[in-house]
Amino acid sequence: MRKIREVLRLKFELGLDHRQIAASCRISHVTVGNYLNRFATAGLSWPLPPEMSDGQIKRRLFANADAPAQPARPLPDPATMCRELRRKHVTLQLLWQEYREAHTEGYGYTQFVEHYRRWEKRLHPRLRQEYRAGERMFVDFAGVTIPIFDPATGQSEPASLFVATLGASNFTYAEATASQQLQDWIGAHVRAFEYFGGVTELIVPDNLKAGVKRPCLYDPELNPTYQDLAAHYGTAVLPARAGKPRDKAKVESAVLIAERWIVAVLRHRKFFSLAELNTAIRELLVKFNSRRFNKLPWSRADWFRDLDGPVLHPLPQTPYELATWSKARVNIDYHVEVEQHYYSVPYLLIHELLEVRMTATTVELIHNGQRVAAHPRSHLKGKFTTLMEHRPKAHQRHLEWTPGRIIKWAGTVGTHCAAVVQAIIESKPHPEQGYRSCLGLMRLTKSYGEQRVEAACRRALRFQTCSYRSIKSILAAKLDAQPLAQDEASAPAIAHANVRGRAYYN
């Protein structure tokens, strides 16, 4: 503005011509003429009023210069272009081609893009981030909490606010959780997917411990349960860089707005349960997502219907069931200990380190990425859950013999054999201690035949010598062939004074 004042002074006070003024002010003589013409058109006179500021002079001289020139050729609505660009695979090149098909005399691609970029710069910076429809869901916990009061004691516990927002439409989900621990973190994701009615290609979380076990710029390590959730829903987790909030600016903005439109609105209400609080949050969510953007004629719900909603991946048939992961080594008895209960695995995995995936109802044991065993979850401490196919063949054959089965086999040999087997089993403190003797009798039937073994068992019962050794001795001495009457006759049957009886020794 100082040069304009100097041009006017040199012209009206000193009477210099245009070229002299241009040489003095180091500007073009054409610019000098332009300034003087604008001065005359503006209806001003020299000297200028002393109270007139430089800004006022500029507005008078250049009143029409700041007004945007109206395009001589039609242009599409830039707000519509902004929404279309959020659709998958839509580019400015494609929109320009469609524009030229409708307006053959329209602008070239360069001017078409330039007009859109000028309009885009007037938007809030958060709307300049472009994400494909259905591509990303941003998740985080808000920094503020909402108190839940105990109706009995009046004491309060803080409830965290979980927020999830979609990248293209900014459609937002929020809920209150009892904590920010793994169980609440996973449950909030499951309910967010149900609220959206589908799954995005990526989940972008912060480096919360429940989601990211070890943050790393190049290779972050996810919590196994969080990774399991992503696999169940067919999506992937892409953690934001630590200390880089712009990586998840969408949810940062959504959290801020949720704090203003949910937490602040509920500040005067008193809640006595999470369910009551979440009912109130759901009502506010409907209003929040239905509010129009400040500079665009649509709402988050409108954009969700047009952009994200139609392209989300479908939900699986069953929602994700929370599973915790740990590691356990297989003991020599081919069982692993999980919460002081023992579960079997194939015996060939003895001493191997396995991954344990545990839900509310099942325990899965995984080796090198493959599930090798699955059991119903048991809460009985110190007990065993064993599958027969996990045992070695020798152990299986041994355990196939139960007391009932052995007695049943002995019955096929004869009633006396069955009686001997039962007597052997009942004589032991534990039935399995008599199995070897019974299996020995089975082997004797192969050497001596079932008839001789049955006869030997009959003799053993008569003399109450029911054992494997006794029956084997009877068979070896061929006593089984002798009649029992002869054995009875061998006892003293004649009464005589020289024959001493039992009473003599009393």
Instruction: Provide the mean pLDDT of the chain.
Output: 82
Statement to judge: residues 167 and 105 lie in one domain: no
pLDDT of 271-305, one tens digit each? 999 999 999 999 999 998 998 887 778 888 998 99
pLDDT of 167-190, one tens digit each? 888 899 999 999 988 889 999 999
The helix/strand/coil state of 123 is coil
Please give the share of the chain, as a percent, with pLDDT higher than 90.
20
**Among candidates 315, 104, 368, 296, which has minimal Cα distance to 199?**
315
Name beta bridge partners: 337.
342
The identity of residue 421, as a single letter, is V
Last residue of one domain, picked from the residues 36, 61, 86: 61
- Cis peptide, bond prior to residue 47, ω within 30 of zero: yes
Statement to judge: residues 261 and 144 lie in one domain: yes
Within-domain flag for 129? no
Statement to judge: residues 116 and 201 lie in one domain: no
Task: Indicate whether 237 pLDDT > 80.
Answer: yes
Statement to judge: residues 173 and 267 lie in one domain: yes
Contact 49, 59 (CB under 8 A): no
Within-domain flag for 144? yes
For residue 67, what are its two tokens? 């007004």
Backbone CA torsion sign across 265, 139, 287, 314 = negative
Within-domain flag for 497? no
The helix/strand/coil state of 66 is coil
What is the number of other CB atoms lying within 10 angstroms of the CB of residue 374? 13
pLDDT of 388-410, one tens digit each? 888 887 666 656 666 777 788 88
Backbone CA torsion sign across 78, 82, 83, 89 = positive
- Annotate 127-173 with three-state secondary structure: HHCCCCCCCEEEEEEEEEEEEEECCCCCCEEEEEEEEEEECCCCCEE
Statement to judge: residues 237 and 349 lie in one domain: no
**Mean pLDDT along residues 26-51:** 82
Task: Indicate whether 490 pLDDT > 60.
Answer: no
Of the listed ranges 16-20, 435-439, 457-461, the least confidently predicted one is: 435-439
Statement to judge: residues 148 and 225 lie in one domain: yes
For residue 7, what are its two tokens? 């041009």
Last residue of one domain, picked from the residues 396, 428, 456: 396
Q: Give the model's pLDDT for residue 176.
A: 93
Statement to judge: residues 341 and 213 lie in one domain: no
Statement to judge: residues 17 and 166 lie in one domain: no
268 phi/psi in degrees, rounded to 5: -95, -5
Statement to judge: residues 359 and 297 lie in one domain: no
User: What is the distance between the terminal CA atoms of the chain, rounded to a whole angstrom?
Assistant: 146
Statement to judge: residues 391 and 411 lie in one domain: no
Last residue of one domain, picked from the residues 396, 416, 437: 396
